[in-house]
Amino acid sequence: MTLEWMKKQAKWVIGIFGIFILGGLVMMDRAGSYRSDRHHNIVGKVNGEEIPTERFQKELQNYVRGQEAQNGKAPEGLQLAQIREGLFNFKVQTILMEKIFEDYQLHASREEMMDYIVKHPREVAGHIARYKGYEELPPFLADSSVDQARYENWLAQDSIYDRYSMRELEEQLRTSVIPQIQLQQILKSQIHRTPLEESYTVATRETKAKVKYYRVSIDSFPVNADKYKDADLKAYYEAHPDSFYFHDDAARLAYVKIPLKPSHNDSTLMADFAKELKERIKGGEKFADLAKDYSNDPGSAEKGGKLDGLRGREAFDPAFANAAFALNPGDISDPVLTQFGYHIILLHDKKKVDSAEKIEVSHILLKVSAGTETIDSLMGEADKIRTAAQKNGLEPVAKDFKLNVEKTPIFEKSNLSPLGGGYVQGANSFAFSQFEAKEKISEALQSDDGIYLFQRDAQFDKGRSFERAKPQIANTLVREEKLGLAKKELEAQKSAIAAAPDGALPPHLGKAVLDSTAAGAISADNWLAGFGYSSPLLFKVFNQPIGTWGSVEATEMGAVIAKVMEKVPMSDADLAMKVQAQMAQNDQYQVSGIYQEWVAALPKSAKVQNTMDMVFRN
């Protein structure tokens, strides 16, 4: 099963795998060490079937070489961790699908494969291009429109099936693509639609109405989650015995962070390098080439440092603007320090536009980051903290070093970034890896903004757990209270709303805001402020008597009370025509949705063992 097939055929695979496999395993050696002893020859098991490490690496590397060549950069940090996790999830689903094909006895006949090849010339062209290059494509496959007759005559030649690309395509069709199509046909046979059902669906979806309504946002009432005590949370937990079951292990970590800030020496070194670049430009090297090679501004570096268009002073940092506007066209500035780093500025043009002076410039940005000496110094401090914390714990030692101890939210093993937006390489592995289970304090782990030391604060097994559910319950109670307050506010204004004439409805009544389908009649599956997208409540509102205010209702976004001003139903002729068209239409999208949900749920019913943290340390 190759990745070309994944791209072109398996949308459910792309959802799991393509999102993550964006770059190169070539960076793997930078991210962690590979252990080749017999305990680490596999990255996991699926229902007892092993996923070999060697094959796992090879499959990823084969894909990655092309991606890195295309993008010019290998992935790092969170992206790299997601790549490995994405590939593992893909391998799990592949193994489970192969077992299903076997159980259902799904296999491709030669006739089915040939029919598929005849109907998919673009896919055949893609395979040839992948293995032989676009220059090897027959002319009728290289054109924007395929000459089907010439294509079928070409397929009639026995010699073309000796090509590696065609043999590879046939193997994919035999083992994966055709069995998937057959499996979707099995699912399709379970979908039964009657004309009456379709008529109701079409009429509900297509009927339009004009609506006026008042809404109170759920955020109109601040509620602090800290007000709920353990007894309140426990009562809710006990009242919902079928809820709060967790399917994966979880943890919470305590940590300290040593900010990673560049030193004065780091800034001086970068200033010297900026001066060196200017001298190279004066010596004849092209500004645009140096910008592409060295500038840390990704938006302009690929354009040779060019900032598009004429810009006024307000578009720049003040120090940048002062230096740039002092130049004459063709001049290059000395290094200029701003909050972003050092800039070398080339002025292209300066002119007045509507009495305001504007300039067109290019620049090379050199960000000032912590150098090796600075990082080594901070790592040394972190090692001292770790040594002391191994004996006495993180909290008392952090006070001695004037650092604050913070805690991550509760996070599952699949969450590779427990700190939220910031990624700390190694944090997830420390929390869950058997290899590091005996370590009280993590190694010093470096991220873009600091050096971290972690200590396990809590561990949670899969299953139902009150302690683990507490934050979730608190958020639920906060939301329910906010919705209750929003409804109460709207109930208090209900009589005033009912008494006001349609032409003189107040724009605000307390916290309630008047709104409407201002653009005219809309269908109930539209998005509407206060209701959301395709809100079930909006369908209900459309069935109210015209000209009558309904009851106060809660939505995901707050509380609403609405009146239908005008309804535009479909004519019987239009309804009949659309129902007929829908009944004749292929069930492709419905089947595809069911199929993707079914495939995505497969791992939940399987025994999956992920041992990647024993092989690759984050």
pLDDT tens digit string along 73-114?
A: 666 667 777 888 888 998 999 999 999 999 999 989 999 999
> Is the pLDDT higher at 40 or at 245?
245
Which pLDDT band holds residue 71 (cuts at 50, 70, 90)?
A: low
Measure the CA–CA gap between 293 and 302, rounded to whole angstroms: 9
* Start-to-end CA span in the chain (Å): 28
Give the integer Cα–Cα distance in Å for 77 and 83: 10
Q: Against a cut of 0.75, is the pTM above it? A: no
The tens digit of pLDDT for each residue in 264-294 reads 999 999 999 999 999 999 999 999 999 999 9
All residues at 6 or more sequence positions from 351 whose CB lies less than 8 Å from its CB, including other chains: 310, 357, 358
pLDDT, position 59: 82
List, for residues 566-617, the tens digit of each pLDDT value: 998 888 888 888 888 777 665 666 777 788 888 888 888 899 888 887 777 6
Whether residue 221 contacts residue 482, with contact meaning beta carbons closer than 8 Å, is answered with: yes
| pLDDT band at residue 302 under the 50/70/90 scheme | confident
Beta-strand runs (E) in 354-426: 356-366, 406-407, 411-412
- For 426-482, the pLDDT digits (tens) are 888 899 887 788 889 999 998 888 999 999 999 999 999 999 999 999 999 999 999
Q: Structurally, what CATH architecture does the domain formed by 264-366 represent?
A: Roll (3.10)
What pLDDT, on a 0 to 100 scale, did the predictor assign at position 74? Answer: 67
| Residue 65, pLDDT above cutoff 60 | yes
Rounded to whole angstroms, how far apart are CA atoms 63 and 86?
13
Q: Which of 366-370, 396-400, 572-576, 611-615 has the lowest mean pLDDT?
A: 611-615
Distance CA 497, CA 560 (A): 12
Q: What is the mean pLDDT of residues 248-274?
A: 93
The amino acid at 486:
A
Least-confidence region, from 228-232, 252-256, 565-569: 565-569
Question: What pLDDT was estimated at residue 546?
Answer: 94
User: What pLDDT does 23 receive?
Assistant: 36
- CA 37/CA 58 separation, integer angstroms: 18
Q: What is the pLDDT of residue 12?
A: 37
CB 417 within 8 A of CB 221: no
Please give the residue that has the higher pLDDT: either 397 or 205.
Answer: 397
What CATH number labels 248-261+372-461? 3.10.50
